[in-house]
Amino acid sequence: MTDTTQNNQAPAASGASATGRISVIGLTLMTVAAVVSLRGLPLMADEGTTLLFYIGFASLIFLIPAALVAAELGGMFAHSTGGVYEWIKAPFGARAGFVAIWLQWIQNVVWYPTVLAFAAASLAYVIGRPSLADDGVYTGTVIIAAYWFATGIALTGTSAAARFTSIGFVLGTVVPGLLIIALGAAWIADGNAMAFLADAGANAGSHGHVRLFPHITSLSSIAFLGGIVLLFAGVEVHAVHANELKNPAKDFPKAILLSVVIIVGLFLLGSLALASIVPADKIALDQGPMQAFDIALKGFNLGWMVPVLALLIALGALAGVMSWITGPSRGLLRTARDGELPPFLAKTNKNGVQVVILITQGLIVTVLASLYFFLKNVSVAFFLLSAMTITLYLVMYMMMYAAAIRLRITHPETPRSYRVPGGMAGMMIVAGIGFAGVAFAFVTSFFPPSQLPVGSPATYVAVVATGFVVFIGLPILIHSMKRPSWVKIEDEQQPGSSS
């Protein structure tokens, strides 16, 4: 189908009544699990007292608008499994839809090395050699080995991977997350000085007060903003379930509000606990929680728990990769129905798993992980890859906001199980705020952070910009090469068939 044809088609919506299969609490927990990760705590804790500004910005300007807009789009396309591909294809055509789903997929591919670097740093504590976390060769090797291990499990298509993900999230994210908050409280109650307040007092200078708003001298001063915004991303993943609530119009806002409170609470308390225990100039972006556990637990004569928690955190990081490794790639495979992918990329194995796409993303992860072999500072490599991830994902969000506004204009009467309140004006305000916030964070992502020794700023910008151009150019190139014969892929290669 041509883009013109797609533009003239009204988006179908289920219009079906809610099934009530998901409770408000159930959707809340699903949303929290999709967003919260311990690897984000060091990035926020590194900002000291100004983390309150960053968390507030990410919540009000990004998290809430993204959730509300995604809920409406999810309700419109409840019948579809294409996610953002369908959401953006309806108003802007197949090419734009393909670019959107591609960006959602590729940003995860770029994200994998960062979360596995977090696992590598934790494993260094398991074997009693924390200094290895600063070794790029060690980190890169662990990332590559762990990723191909996860890929091997994903290719089997067994339910073991799903069980591993669930158990790993609870043991590797929830338990350590609650423990670090408890340790922070115990650390303060024991009379220890809060490191971030001590740092703020020392840096107060002539203005004589603790800084709550970042001191902005250039965009490099707030380059971390994009990274922190990304930590709150993912809320749109489960918005497609809004129509499964008993009363979507009333229950979804409740679920989102509760999710926001829990997400903000966990990130705020966790990062404050970390910032209280570890001085800002000592925080490493890939091992912050382990630094806090190491200091606090040894301070309370519980040092034996450090390797145990390190193993759990590494397990949680691997579970996070396992939970995402097939999902976005399955969404990309869905585009084969419209002939957006060449046949060799759309093939599945006997277990119905998109084998060529998984192997392709594994090769990309291997290349990206090799950055750790060449960059001396592991935190710089960690943030460099995060910056690439940010630029790609934020473009997808801008497309999502634009699609929501356009669909309100072109298809106002299409049934929606949930609508952003306030009519067209409400949508313009919510999506407009979200778009503006995302666009600003996108721009700051191209500036090297003043908080990290990035070396040559020009090299940093060149690497991030090159990655962005390459990864966003590939889907446009693939789309330009598409052939009518590709649309037959679905008939020839049904999930579960052998390749």
DSSP letter for each residue of 213-235: S---SSGGGGTHHHHHHHHTTTG
Q: Which two tokens stand for residue 278?
A: 């570890």
Residue 449 and residue 49: Cα distance in Å, rounded? 17
Residue 7's pLDDT is 36
Residue 317's pLDDT is 85
Nearest to 13 by CA among 418, 425, 313: 418
Nearest to 138 by CA among 381, 385, 392, 440: 381
- Give 216's pLDDT tier (boundaries 50, 70, 90): low
Specify the DSSP class assigned to residue 245. Answer: S
Q: Which two tokens stand for residue 7?
A: 């533009």
Give percent of the chain with pLDDT exceeding 70.
Answer: 80
List the beta strands (DSSP E) in 352-482.
Answer: none
Q: Which two tokens stand for residue 349?
A: 């194995």
Q: Which two tokens stand for residue 385?
A: 């890859």
Considering only 3-12, 60-69, 174-183, 196-205, which range has the smallest mean pLDDT?
3-12
Residue 404's pLDDT is 96
Instruction: Tell me how far the alpha carbon of residue 22 is from its chain's centroid.
Output: 23
Residue 380 and residue 117: Cα distance in Å, rounded? 12
Residue 479 and residue 473: Cα distance in Å, rounded? 10
Average pLDDT over residues 3-29: 53
Considering only 71-75, 103-107, 143-147, 385-389, which range has the smallest mean pLDDT?
385-389
Residue 406, pLDDT > 90, answer: yes
Average pLDDT over residues 460-485: 86
Average pLDDT over residues 141-159: 86
Residue 464, pLDDT > 80, answer: yes
Q: Which two tokens stand for residue 213?
A: 């708003």
> Tens digits of per-residue pLDDT, 118-143?
889 889 989 888 888 888 899 999 99
Range with top average pLDDT, 157-161, 361-365, 445-449: 361-365
Instruction: Tell me how far the alpha carbon of residue 264 is from its chain's centroid.
Output: 15
> Tens digits of per-residue pLDDT, 252-278?
778 877 888 888 888 889 888 888 888
Place of tokens 């260094």: 124
Tell which phi-psi region holds residue 128, choosing left (phi > 0), alpha (psi between -120 and 50) or beta: left
- Give 219's pLDDT tier (boundaries 50, 70, 90): low
Q: Is the model more confident about 81 or about 404?
A: 404
Considering only 71-85, 140-154, 162-176, which range has the smallest mean pLDDT?
71-85
Residue 4's pLDDT is 33
